[in-house]
Structure 1
Amino acid sequence: MKYIVIFLFPYLLLAQSSFEKAQMLFDNQKYEQAQSVYEALLKTNPNNLKIIERLGDIAGGQKDWDKALMYYSKLRDLKASVANYHYKYGGALGMKALGVNKFKALGMISDIKKSFEKAIELDEKHIEARWALVELYLRLPSFVGGSEAKALKYSNELLMISPVDGYLSRGRVEEYFERYKTAEVYYKKAISEGGSKIAYQKLANLYKNKMENPEKAKLILEEYENKKSVN
């Protein structure tokens, strides 16, 4: 056994080096180069979860939803207990649905919902899956299940897990239904809660694009920049 380990050691080091190279390329957003390295690694590591996930992420970034779905489906088959695999599958399926005819898209809705719901079942604090369901129920026509009440249900769950996400998602619901003054209140709450860049941007975009007040938008972005420079 000792001699087998010694014999394999250089190959193990080479695989590790290649994986680190692929990860570095991925982190630097050099996705095509990373893809080539990951695909080579996959040939000798066909069930490596991280390699498969990264290839799915790259395919998604390239908007190749069929390829992304293939990789994410394989992840679910290999390890169905990981919430994020179900979330990513549902996300890729949702994006594919946007590019097909309406009749075909309707047939995908059930699987999209189930994927996000499964992610929440496996991880009761999964923020991204709840955000996805908020958006899904806002965008769906009522005759296929679209519902403000259901969107608010997941927004309220987000509030319990992450107040910032809760306020932002509620602002999103209010903005979607053109209740701009109420949306403003929730975006301001998100700013007070966490002061994140995205909260300031949401409020600025609301002022500029929906409330026709570019001056207020400019002031809120300046407020963020001033706060950032102080910190």
Structure 2
Amino acid sequence: MKYILFFFLFFPLLVLSQSNFDKGQSLFEVGKMDQAEIIFETILKSEPSNLKAIEYLGDIAGYKKSWDNALIFYKKLKTLKPSEANFHYKYGGALAMKALSVNKFRALGMIDEIKGSFEKAIELNPRHIGSRWALIELYIQLPGFVGGSEKKAFQYSNELLKLSPIDGFLSKGHIDEYFKRYSIAEQQYKKAIEIGNSVKGYQMLANLYKNKMNEPEKAEVVLQIIKKINSTPKKNI
């Protein structure tokens, strides 16, 4: 009898909570962040440990570039579920973005925690793609005297190549582009395109032609290919 009573007392609340969550999720997906934020904050008041609501609030804070707030939410996620790789990844990403907004001396003191967050994500999920991309960016952007290393960037790029050949070639191209080896970067992007007709690869190639190699005609050809891909109706499987 007590289980029946529980069902009738709390099932309507559960349904309402899920309905609110779906509404908040829909608002988030169409970019209505302020409205979505209100809904997820309401959910969190009654369910303080709702991981998805916390994550959405962190994502909304990140969208608004409110990195301090994003860090609060992502840190809470790490505390509630320390085994989830993506929570460490998002925390590291928010911390990296915050580091860009503070003075250099303060930013230097954040590097180890940023790096550690991405490394932890990989430890928890050895197939984590985003963390490897983040570490590649970190190692090519940092000066050598504070830990920057092209060699380490290529190490993570090689790992990506094994996990996802497209990401592997794109990341190699990105490293080559950063160090102004434009012709090599061009070939790496083309390899990624050959493997999977990668839109991201076309975009990176177009940007390379337009912004680095001063070849706007080539860039325009690639942009037209992207336009064609995006306008082609996707087949239902």
TM bucket by the smaller chain? over 0.9
- Give the direction of change, closer, same or farther, for the CA distance of 1:10–1:223 in structure 2 (3 Å limit): closer
| The 10-residue stretch of structure 1 (156-165 or 9-18) with the greater mean CA deviation from structure 2 | 9-18
- Give the direction of change, closer, same or farther, for the CA distance of 1:179–1:59 in structure 2 (3 Å limit): same
The residue number in structure 2 matching 1:78 is 80
- Give the direction of change, closer, same or farther, for the CA distance of 1:33–1:164 in structure 2 (3 Å limit): same
Contact 2:24–2:40 (Cα < 8 Å) also in 1? yes
Counterpart AA for 2:45: K
* Separation in 2, partners of 1:29, 1:143: 41
Counterpart AA for 1:6: F
The residue number in structure 1 matching 2:206 is 204
The residue number in structure 2 matching 1:41 is 43
Contact 2:203–2:226 (Cα < 8 Å) also in 1? no
* Separation in 2, partners of 1:42, 1:148: 43
Q: Cα RMSD between the aligned structures?
A: 1.3
* In the alignment, structure 1 residue 185 sits paired with structure 2 residue 224: no
| The 10-residue stretch of structure 1 (11-20 or 55-64) with the greater mean CA deviation from structure 2 | 11-20
Counterpart AA for 1:160: K
* Separation in 1, partners of 2:185, 2:9: 64
The residue number in structure 1 matching 2:99 is 97
| The 10-residue stretch of structure 1 (137-146 or 18-27) with the greater mean CA deviation from structure 2 | 18-27
- Give the direction of change, closer, same or farther, for the CA distance of 1:100–1:228 in structure 2 (3 Å limit): closer
- Give the direction of change, closer, same or farther, for the CA distance of 1:28–1:154 in structure 2 (3 Å limit): same
| The 10-residue stretch of structure 1 (10-19 or 113-122) with the greater mean CA deviation from structure 2 | 10-19
DSSP 3-state at the match of 2:48: coil
The residue number in structure 1 matching 2:57 is 55
Q: 1:192: Cα distance to partner?
A: 0.4
* Separation in 2, partners of 1:39, 1:88: 19
Counterpart AA for 2:14: L
- Give the direction of change, closer, same or farther, for the CA distance of 1:179–1:55 in structure 2 (3 Å limit): same
* Separation in 1, partners of 2:154, 2:136: 7
Q: 1:212: Cα distance to partner?
A: 0.8
Deviations 1:50-69 (A, max 9, x none): 11001000000000001000
Q: 1:177: Cα distance to partner?
A: 0.4
Is there any run of 5+ residues in structure 1 with no aligned partner, and where? none
* Separation in 2, partners of 1:26, 1:203: 31
* Separation in 1, partners of 2:220, 2:30: 31
- Give the direction of change, closer, same or farther, for the CA distance of 1:30–1:230 in structure 2 (3 Å limit): closer
Is there any run of 5+ residues in structure 2 with no aligned partner, and where? none
Identity %: 59
* Separation in 1, partners of 2:186, 2:140: 18
Q: How many aligned positions are there?
A: 231
TM-score of the pair, normalised by structure 1: 0.97
The residue number in structure 2 matching 1:223 is 225
Q: 1:205: Cα distance to partner?
A: 1.0
